[in-house]
Structure 1
């Protein structure tokens, strides 16, 4: 079990909400800077929404067993989740709901990677995808076209795109691109060349960026094998 709730929290609170409800709400990043974990969760969810919740098994004692495909041994965690002084959850959760499977999966990754949420703030999207899927993932420094992205999405591949340290200089419809951040790539328009993204901190809305902004604002793209 984890001893510290991380730098964004002051304590723990038991999540008594549903763990894996029928309605597949999107993963949402909290105040832990682990976009390299949550953006891959979001990208996988957009492709196969039942895949990640199926990694969890609730136990009779209230704990949850998590079987990460890239990890040999199962990881057991409780449902005590990081909160601030007011009692509000501050780590990852289902968008608009309780932490549920998203918070448990994040906690299991924190336990496996470093024994805590603090070090979870440093990582790359490729490792996040491979950890969650147990599959080899390609990293591309030459960014794909809208047509290629659309073809990959039609094949059922999960895709993430990572910005670089100077990305904040580029404006978009949702404001400047955050630097050193990971997005889920959810589609593309081959006519306009726009690439469609979801930010794990605001997964409910789609950001469409033109080809020039995509090429200038993003450092790399990670793409999985077909997931369905």
Structure 2
């Protein structure tokens, strides 16, 4: 029998494994902290963090902005819900060509996205490697401080539209066999998390954003959504 998990953080650590992108050096990010743009996932397999960040950004971006306070020396004070403030510098992993490897603002430098990703890595496990695996429910809870709902049965388009009208952040997670499910955008990636941004009750289509390419809007029909996604996580209203 598996040991009883008493806290969400202990449960999260039980799911994570070390590994992930290895940076050659760290480089100071001097890009604007608050440039416009959506969160974009980098080379680290932390879609559960980045899709959650994207889902909250699509719903109530002011909730994310309230987590960060820029300091006079350029560092950022990050206060995750229920956690003590964490001082985070803007030295972030780069490759041998000086290119930032991890999360960033789409179309810009790492900015607030890189800082928040670094803070979550340090808060949860003490390093980026342990963010390689995780569940979206934990990502949403880390960012919002509230317990959401996980559904193993896909909600219909009308329910999703109602949740979005209530300002709830929603993520949807694929499974190992998802590449067998064809959509108009091609096969779905396996074991990946998307942000759900809307749905059309007339046609049943669900609209999603992939944190790897957040500018593109993916349109998935109801049947493919049921077959291709293992779980949907939804927060309480964020406004």
TM over 0.5: yes
Asked if residue 11 in structure 1 is aligned to residue 25 in structure 2, the reply is: yes
**Alignment of 1:105 onto 2:116:** yes
Mean Cα deviation higher: 89-98 or 171-180: 171-180
Q: What is the CA–CA distance in structure 2 between the aligned matches of 1:169 and 1:12, rounded to whole Å?
A: 39
Kindly indicate whether residue 230 of structure 2 is the aligned counterpart of residue 219 of structure 1. Answer: yes
Deviation at 1:50, TM superposition (A): 2.0
Other structure's SS at 2:121 match: helix
Segment of structure 1 superposing worse, 170-179 or 32-41: 170-179
Q: CA deviation at 1:122?
A: 1.1
Q: Is the 8 A contact 1:30 1:201 kept in 2?
A: yes
Q: TM-score normalised to the size of structure 2?
A: 0.90
1:116 and 2:130 matched: no
Moved more, 51-60 or 108-117: 51-60
Distance (whole Å) between structure 1 residues aligned to residue 82 and residue 199 of structure 2: 30
The 3 A distance-change label for structure 1 pair 8 and 203 is farther
Deviation at 1:203, TM superposition (A): 0.3
Query: 1:7-31 CA deviation, whole Å, 9 max, x = no partner?
Result: 242211110011124x3x1000000
Alignment RMSD (CA, Å): 1.3
- Partner of 1:101, secondary structure, is helix
Partner of residue 51, structure 1: 63
Question: Conserved in 1, the CA contact under 8 Å of 2:20 and 2:132?
Answer: no
Question: d(CA) in 2 for partners of 1:173 and 1:60?
Answer: 48
SS of corresponding position for 2:122: helix
SS in structure 2 of the partner of residue 203 of structure 1: strand
Q: In the alignment, is residue 60 of structure 1 matched against residue 72 of structure 2?
A: yes
Name the CA distance, whole Å, in 2 between partners of 1:6 and 1:14.
21
User: Which among 38, 47, 51 is matched to residue 39 of structure 1?
Assistant: 51
Q: Give unmatched runs, 5+ long, in structure 2.
A: 1-18
Structure 1 pair 201–8 and aligned structure 2 pair: CA distance change class (3 A): farther
Residues 170, 213 of structure 1: 8 Å contact kept: yes
Report the equivalent of 2:13.
none
Query: Given the alignment, which residue of 192, 210, 213 partners 1:181?
Result: 192
Residues 64 and 76 in structure 1, CA contact (< 8 A), matched pair in contact too: yes
- Are the counterparts in 2 of residues 167 and 176 from structure 1 also a CA contact under 8 Å? yes
From 165, 168, 173, the equivalent of 1:157 is 168
How far does residue 6 in structure 1 lie from its aligned partner after superposition? 5.6
Please list the CA deviations of residues 23-48 of structure 1 after superposition, one character each: whole Å capped at 9, or x if unmatched.
3x100000010000000000000011
Alpha-carbon distance between aligned partners in 2 of 1:126 and 1:29, rounded to the nearest angstrom:
18
CA contact (8 A) 2:204 2:221 kept: yes
